[in-house]
């Protein structure tokens, strides 16, 4: 049996894959300690996994504003000391970091302890934390076709993003019954990732009458603090009842995506992996201010594979026409689903966990040999 510290807090896109790896490792008899942030989104997701060992660590996101920068530095010092103490207490055999500000402290602490460090980057443009610690990593998991300068090719494994086992495609009828949505009309799901997207929420507000006139129901996940739960009912031009459902947050992503004929979304790596798993056609509107412009790279790759349509946020005034043209084009929707199914080729969780077991076993063997020599 091995012990693993998994650092994955700060956003749903980091925490969710960490949970998926932890679940599989525990299933195979290993111990896992999952480091999260103190952000509300982490707290909400953790509630659905009471059997996992979560540990909230200090830390906030980076900012160049002087006051926030000072807070960031102070919190990082606290987080490094916290990480050192945790490593000494738990004595893990491998440390896994999923990027973001939470990676910095655990990686710096790891440099002092010499435990194997594994990095995971879900986006097609690796973030600062992964680039910073790439030279110290025993393994780096990157998306298909992505490389890192200055890294031995043998360190890199090109794999997809590991998804929680509860994210899976179910029948449209079953999904809509769970969400109390229409079984006989088209449904559009709008979401902005775990943080929500104000511009997509505003787009729904401005365009629902036009969507409703076409008989399109809308299920909008607004994001925490960006809208209240509720429902609006109206009628279409054919006098059929249509609904607009607002939901601030949903942990049942597989159900939500399975209910949709079409999804309008940001282009985070986690969302794209979920769309592929659930084979749900989408129009992606990348967040234009994402670090390294990684959402554009994510969306463009999926579009090139025939798995979505991408619209730049600057062209959002064309979105309504794109939605109406696509959602009623069943032939094109079918082709997109086919392409998404082709991309869903292997179980990333199993491949990563098998590799992690080899890394931890080698470390244990080397450590024991070193003790024997002494």
Domain range for 335 = 172-278+280-343
> What's the N-to-C CA distance of the chain in angstroms?
24
Spacing of C-alpha 68 from chain mean position: 25
User: What is the CA angle 366-367-373, rounded to 5?
Assistant: 90
For residue 33, give Cα distances in angstroms to 9, 118, 181, 226, 335.
12, 15, 38, 31, 42
For residue 263, give Cα distances in angstroms to 5, 202, 221, 284, 300.
34, 16, 11, 8, 16
Considering the domain boundaries, does residue 93 fall inside one? yes
Same-domain status, 197 and 66: no
Considering the domain boundaries, does residue 263 fall inside one? yes
User: For 32-76, how does the pLDDT look when each residue is reduced to its tens digit (9 = 90+)?
Assistant: 999 988 888 788 888 888 999 999 888 776 667 777 778 878 888
Q: Looking at 51-60, 178-187, 282-291, 353-362, which range is the least confident one?
A: 51-60
Count of CB atoms situated within 10 Å of the CB of 10 = 24
CB 302 within 8 A of CB 284: yes
For residue 78 the two structure tokens come to: 């606290």
Same-domain status, 211 and 308: yes
Same-domain status, 109 and 15: yes
Considering the domain boundaries, does residue 367 fall inside one? no
Same-domain status, 195 and 289: yes
pLDDT higher than threshold 70 for residue 145: yes
Q: Looking at 21-35, 53-67, 83-97, 218-232, which range is the least confident one?
A: 53-67
Categorize the per-residue pLDDT at 307 as very low, low, confident or very high, splitting at 50, 70 and 90.
very high
Residue 374 has what pLDDT? Answer: 45
CATH number at residue 205: 3.40.50.2000
Same-domain status, 184 and 73: no
Q: Looking at 23-37, 54-68, 113-127, 242-256, which range is the least confident one?
A: 54-68
Considering the domain boundaries, does residue 371 fall inside one? no
Q: How many domains does the chain have?
A: 2
Considering the domain boundaries, does residue 115 fall inside one? yes
Higher-scoring residue by pLDDT: 61, 310: 310
Same-domain status, 191 and 322: yes
User: What is the CA angle 347-153-91, rounded to 5?
Assistant: 70
- Where on the phi/psi map is residue 47: left (φ > 0), alpha (ψ -120 to 50), or beta? alpha
Rounded CA-CA distance 198/33 in Å is 34
Residue 5: beta bridge partners? Answer: 33, 95
Residue 193 has what pLDDT? Answer: 65
Considering the domain boundaries, does residue 148 fall inside one? yes
Same-domain status, 133 and 211: no
Same-domain status, 193 and 114: no
Same-domain status, 158 and 11: yes
Same-domain status, 161 and 219: no
Categorize the per-residue pLDDT at 373 as very low, low, confident or very high, splitting at 50, 70 and 90.
very low
Burial class for 213, CB neighbours closer than 10 Å (0-12, 13-18, 19+): middle
Residue 75 has what pLDDT? Answer: 81
For residue 251 the two structure tokens come to: 């942990």
Same-domain status, 19 and 92: yes
Residue 160 has what pLDDT? Answer: 85
| Average pLDDT, integer, range 130-141 | 94
At 154, which helix (H) or strand (E)?
Answer: none
What one-character-per-residue DSSP string does 4-68 give? EEEE--SSHHHHHHHHHHHHHHHHTT-EEEEEE-S-HHHHHHHTT-TTS-EEE--------SHHH
Q: Pick the closest to residue 306 from 270, 278, 276, 327 (CA basis).
A: 276
What one-character-per-residue DSSP string does 223-282 give? -TTS---EEEEEE-TTS-EEEEEEES--S-HHHHHHT-SEEEE---HHHHHHHHHHT--E
């Amino acid at each position: 049996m091995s012990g693993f510290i998994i650092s994955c807090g700060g956003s749903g896109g980091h925490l969710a894959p960490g949970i998926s790896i932890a679940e599989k490792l525990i299933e195979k008899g290993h111990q896992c300690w999952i480091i999260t942030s103190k952000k509300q989104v982490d707290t909400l997701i953790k509630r659905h996994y009471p059997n996992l060992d979560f540990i909230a660590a200090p830390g906030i996101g980076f900012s160049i504003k002087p006051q926030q920068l000072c807070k960031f530095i102070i919190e990082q010092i606290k987080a490094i000391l916290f990480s050192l103490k945790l490593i000494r207490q738990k004595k893990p055999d491998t440390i896994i970091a999923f990027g973001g500000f939470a990676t910095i402290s655990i990686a710096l602490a790891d440099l002092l302890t010499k435990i194997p460090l594994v990095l995971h980057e879900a986006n097609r443009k690796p973030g600062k934390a992964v680039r910073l610690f790439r030279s110290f990593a025993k393994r780096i998991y990157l998306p298909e076709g992505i490389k890192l300068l200055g890294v031995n090719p043998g360190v890199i494994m090109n794999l997809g993003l590991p998804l929680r086992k509860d994210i899976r495609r179910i029948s449209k009828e079953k999904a809509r019954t769970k969400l109390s949505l229409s079984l006989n009309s088209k449904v559009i799901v709008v979401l902005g990732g775990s943080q929500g997207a104000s511009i997509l929420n505003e787009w729904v507000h401005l365009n629902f009458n036009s969507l409703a006139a076409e008989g399109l129901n809308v299920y909008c996940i607004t994001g925490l603090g960006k809208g209240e739960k509720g429902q609006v009912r109206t009628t279409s031009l054919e006098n059929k009842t249509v609904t607009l459902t607002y939901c601030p947050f949903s942990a049942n992503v597989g159900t939500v995506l399975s209910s949709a004929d079409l999804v309008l979304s940001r282009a985070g790596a986690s969302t794209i992996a979920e769309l592929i798993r659930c084979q749900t056609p989408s129009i992606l509107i990348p967040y234009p201010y994402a670090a390294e412009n990684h959402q554009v790279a994510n969306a463009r790759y999926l579009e090139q594979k025939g798995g979505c349509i991408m619209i730049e946020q600057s062209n959002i005034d064309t979105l309504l026409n794109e939605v109406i043209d696509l959602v009623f084009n069943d032939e094109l929707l079918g082709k997109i689903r086919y392409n998404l199914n082709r991309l869903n080729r292997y179980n990333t969780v199993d491949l990563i966990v098998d590799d992690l077991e080899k890394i931890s076993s080698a470390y244990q063997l080397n450590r024991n040999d070193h003790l024997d020599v002494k």
